[in-house]
Amino acid sequence: MDQHNHQSTTSGAVATAKPLHCIVKLGGAAITYKNELETINGDNLNIVSSQLRQAMILGPCHGMDWSRRPGSSEIPTVADDFDEQLQLKSKKFVVVHGAGSFGHFQASKSGVHKGGLNKSLVKSGFVATRISVTSLNLEIVRALAKEGIPSIGMSPFSCGWSTCQRNLSTADISTVVKALDTGFIPVLHGDAVLDSSQGCTILSGDVIIRHLAEQLRPDYVVFLTDVLGVYDRPPTEPDATLLQEIAVSEDGSWSVLKPQLQDVSKQVEITVAAHDTTGGMVTKISEAAMIAKLGIDVYIVKAATDHSMRALKGQLRQNIPDDWLGTVIRLAK
Amino acid sequence: MDQHNHQSTTSGAVATAKPLHCIVKLGGAAITYKNELETINGDNLNIVSSQLRQAMILGPCHGMDWSRRPGSSEIPTVADDFDEQLQLKSKKFVVVHGAGSFGHFQASKSGVHKGGLNKSLVKSGFVATRISVTSLNLEIVRALAKEGIPSIGMSPFSCGWSTCQRNLSTADISTVVKALDTGFIPVLHGDAVLDSSQGCTILSGDVIIRHLAEQLRPDYVVFLTDVLGVYDRPPTEPDATLLQEIAVSEDGSWSVLKPQLQDVSKQVEITVAAHDTTGGMVTKISEAAMIAKLGIDVYIVKAATDHSMRALKGQLRQNIPDDWLGTVIRLAK
C-alpha cells in the first residue's frame, strides 16, 4: 500500500513554493525537567518561544492561544486591535521537539520500542506514550502561539508516518509542506508509531529532523539543548572540552577542527570516550553529521541563551564569532 | 498534487482486514457544557467512556492513561498485573467528537469558516481553534484510555484532510484503517483545515462521520447527544414530539414512521418547523439520512443513559424494543 503513497519514501527532495529556512529541534532536556515526571521547564520554554518569534516573524504579531488554562476560570484575552489588512509575515521554520520527561516513563515501562502490539502491556504503553507526548506537544504549541507564532501541532502517527525494522519507511511530508506554504509553523515530535516488521516502535525527533532535512533542504538546522554544545566527554566531568567546530567529510567520518587538538591520539581518545558514554554524544554527532553531509550547517547550542538567539537568527552562517559558544557541524571544505 | 494521493477522494469503499463495527459521534453538547467556555462535562464523559468500553472490549482490560494531571504531583499508577499473554480484544469502533464549548469561540471570533488565511486575524483564529479542539481531543482520548480503551487521537488536519469550497476533497483514511487493523480506536474530531478555494474552513464532525461511513461501511452509527433524539420542534417547546423512527428513501427524502402522524399536514408542519430552527435538526436528519441511504442504521440517542448503552451494544439492530427512547433513521424497506 505504502509504495503508492505520494512522497512516501525517504529519497528525493520535494519542491516547495519557497525553500525551508530552518529546522529547530527543541531538545527534551532543554524544555522539560528531565528528572521530574512530565514537568515542563516553563522559564526556558518561554524564552525559547520568544527567541523563535524574533527569528521567524517579521513585523507585528498577536497572541494566538485563546484558550482557558485547565482549572482557571479566566476568559482568554484576544487582541481587539487586529488590523484587517495586516498580513503575518514569517520565515519558514519547522519545529521538532523531543520528549524529555514526557513519554519516556510510559515507553520504557511497556517496551514500546521493542514492538509486540499483540501484548496488552505494549498496546497500553503505546496509548499511554502517545497521550504523554501529545500533551507536551499541545503545551509547546500553546507557548509558541501565545508568543504570536502560527504554530500547528502535527503528530507523526496522525501524519501516517511509520517504520519498518525501526527505520522510517512511510513519511509523507505533503501535509507539512502545505502547512508551511500557507504560512504556518509545523510542530512535530518524537512519537510512538506503527512498524511493519515488529508492530510498533518509537520514532525519535532526531530521525524526524534528518528526514525533513533530506526532503526540504533547509538553510540550517539548530539543536537547542541543555549544555553549551557537544563535549569530548560528559560535560559534568572535569576537563570536559567543548568541541566548537566539527567537519564532516563525504564518507560521513568527522574530525574536530576547533579547538585544535594536540595530537592524533587525542582525537582517538574523543572517539573512545564518545563510545563509552550512553551513546548520547555519538548519536548526536552522527545524526548531525548526516545532515551536515547534505551541505546543511548544524548548530548545537544551549537553549535560552544569547548563543541560541544568534544561531536561530542565522547569524553564524557567514562566520562564527569568537565569543559564540556552541558546536558547529558542517561539511568539510 | 492531491489527485495522486492514495485513497484521497470521497468515492469508493476501502477494504479492511475486518469490517468496521460502529462509528460513534460524541456530540459536543453531550460531553461539554455548551454555555461554559472550554468546560468538559466530566460526569457524562466518564459514563460515556464506560459504556463505550462495555460495547467495545471483550474480556479484561487495564487503564492506559499513565500521565500526570496538570498541577498534580501524583505519579500515575500502572497496573502491575499485566498478563504477558493477554491480548486485548476489541470490536472495531471509530469515535468522532464535536467541539461543544471548545473551538466555537475561537472560530467565530475570527471567522475561520469563511476563510482568508492572508488575514492575520483568520490565521490567528485558525491556530487558536486548533489549540482548543485538540485540547478537547486529548481530554477525550485520556478519558477513554483511563477506561481501558486503546484510543488514539487523530486530527483531520494532521491526517492531511482538506476541503475545496468547504466540501471534503482530500481525506485519505489509510492511517485510520491502519490504526483499526492494529487494534486501536481512532478518535477524530471536528477541526480547522485548509481549503483549496478559500484558504481554510471548519470541517465538522458530522461530515467526517459521513465520509468514514461511506468508505468503511460500519454496521451502524450512533450519535450521542444531550436530548433523547430528534424532535419535531426544539425539545424545549411544549408539545415537542420525539420522532422515534424515520425512513429514508433512495432519493434521500425522509418520512416519520413512528409516531404515526395523524395526517399529511402534520408531516409538512414538521418539515417547516425543522427549517424554522437554527438548522440543528434538519442538518442532523440530513447528515443521518445520507448515511442511512447506504443501508447503515443510524441511532440518535441521549448520552449516558440506558438507551445509549443499548444502541452502542448494537442491541437495536434486529428490533427496537418499545421501551427504548431515541431516534432510528434507516433505509425504507
Identify all chain A residues contacting B162, using CB atoms and an 8 Å cutoff. 178
- pLDDT surpasses 60 at A277: no
Mean of all residue pLDDT scores within chain A: 87
Which one-letter amino acid corresponds to residue A173? I
| Interchain pair A135, B138: CB under 8 A | yes
- pLDDT surpasses 50 at B109: yes
Judged by a CB distance cut-off of 8 A, whether residue B164 touches chain A is no
Judged by a CB distance cut-off of 8 A, whether residue B215 touches chain A is no
Judged by a CB distance cut-off of 8 A, whether residue B62 touches chain A is yes
| Interchain pair B67, A135: CB under 8 A | yes
- pLDDT surpasses 80 at B77: no
To probe the interface with B, which of A68, A84, A127 has the most B CB atoms within 10 Å? A127
- pLDDT surpasses 60 at A154: yes
Cα–chain-centroid distance for residue B324?
Answer: 21
| Interchain pair A153, B158: CB under 8 A | yes
DSSP of A189-242, one letter per residue?
E-EEEEETTTEEEEE-HHHHHHHHHHHH--SEEEEEESSSSEESS-TTSTT--E
Query: Which of B206, B215, B211 lies closest to B300, judged by CA?
Result: B206
Count of pairs with CB atoms under 8 A, one residue in A, one in B? 206
To probe the interface with A, which of B124, B175, B189, B196 has the most A CB atoms within 10 Å? B124
- pLDDT surpasses 70 at A6: no
Chain segment B179-201, per-residue pLDDT in tens: 999 999 999 999 999 999 999 99
Letter string b/e over residues B97-125, b meaning 16 or more CB atoms within 10 A of that residue's CB = bbbbbbbbbbbebbebbebbbebbbbbbb
Other beta carbons within 10 Å of A236: 8
Other beta carbons within 10 Å of A18: 9
Q: From the CA of A154, how many Å to the nearest CA of chain B?
A: 5
| Interchain pair A71, B68: CB under 8 A | no
Q: Please give the residue of chain B at the shortest CA–CA distance from A61.
A: B120
Chain segment A212-224, per-residue pLDDT in tens: 999 999 999 999 9
| Interchain pair A158, B162: CB under 8 A | no
**Judging by DSSP bridges, how do beta strands B297-302 and B327-331 pair with one another?**
antiparallel
Three-state DSSP class for B304? coil
The residue to which cell 527567541 is assigned: A51
Confidence class for position A269, pLDDT limits 50, 70, 90: low
To probe the interface with B, which of A14, A66, A87, A146 has the most B CB atoms within 10 Å? A66
A87 phi and psi, to 5 degrees? Answer: -110, 130
Q: Write a three-state SS string for A231-276.
A: ECCCCCCCCCCEECEEEECCCCCEEEEECCCCCHHHHHHHHHHHHH
The grid cell for B65 is: 492513561
Work out the end-to-end distance of chain A between its first and last CA atoms, rounded to an integer number of angstroms: 42
User: Which residues of B participate in the annotated binding site for substrate?
Assistant: 99, 104
Identify all chain A residues contacting B108, using CB atoms and an 8 Å cutoff. none
Confidence class for position B237, pLDDT limits 50, 70, 90: confident
* B1-56+88-218: CATH class: alpha beta
Q: Please give the residue of chain B at the shortest CA–CA distance from A84.
A: B119
Task: Mean pLDDT check: name the lowest of A230-239, A293-302, B243-252.
Answer: A230-239
- pLDDT surpasses 50 at A3: no
Identify all chain B residues contacting A87, using CB atoms and an 8 Å cutoff. 118-120
Identify all chain A residues contacting B157, using CB atoms and an 8 Å cutoff. 152, 154, 175
Q: What angle do CA B277, B282, B283 make, to 5 degrees?
A: 110
Judged by a CB distance cut-off of 8 A, whether residue A78 touches chain B is yes
Q: From the CA of B61, how many Å to the nearest CA of chain A?
A: 8
Instruction: Identify the architecture of domain A7-58+88-218 in CATH.
Output: 3-Layer(aba) Sandwich (3.40)
Chain segment A181-210, per-residue pLDDT in tens: 999 999 999 999 999 999 999 999 999 999
Chain segment B260-284, per-residue pLDDT in tens: 866 555 555 555 444 444 445 677 7
Q: Please give the residue of chain A at the shortest CA–CA distance from B7.
A: A5
Judged by a CB distance cut-off of 8 A, whether residue B74 touches chain A is no
Question: Which residue(s) pair with A290 in the sheet?
Answer: none
Task: Mean pLDDT check: name the lowest of A162-176, B10-24, B29-43, B206-220.
Answer: B10-24
Nearest beta carbon to residue B38 from set A67, A84, A87: A67
Other beta carbons within 10 Å of B14: 15
Which one-letter amino acid corresponds to residue A91? K
| Interchain pair A66, B157: CB under 8 A | no
Q: What is the Cα gyration radius of chain B?
A: 20
| Interchain pair A62, B120: CB under 8 A | yes
Q: Is the peptide bond before A186 cis (omega within 30 degrees of 0)?
A: no
Judged by a CB distance cut-off of 8 A, whether residue A150 touches chain B is yes
- pLDDT surpasses 80 at B6: no
Contacts of B216 (CB under 8 A, 6+ apart): B13, B14, B16, B19, B20, B23, B94, B173, B176, B177
Crossing angle for the helix pair A120-146 and B120-146, to the nearest 10 degrees: 150
Q: From the CA of A147, how many Å to the nearest CA of chain B?
A: 11
Q: Where are the domains of chain B?
A: 1-56+88-218, 228-297+309-333
Identify all chain A residues contacting B198, using CB atoms and an 8 Å cutoff. none
pLDDT given at position A141? 98
Nearest beta carbon to residue A78 from set B109, B119, B138: B109
Q: Taking residues A319-333, what's their average pLDDT?
A: 93
Judged by a CB distance cut-off of 8 A, whether residue B184 touches chain A is yes
To probe the interface with B, which of A8, A80, A89, A120 has the most B CB atoms within 10 Å? A120
Question: Which residue(s) pair with B243 in the sheet?
Answer: B230
Chain segment A220-254, per-residue pLDDT in tens: 999 999 999 998 888 888 888 899 999 999 888 88
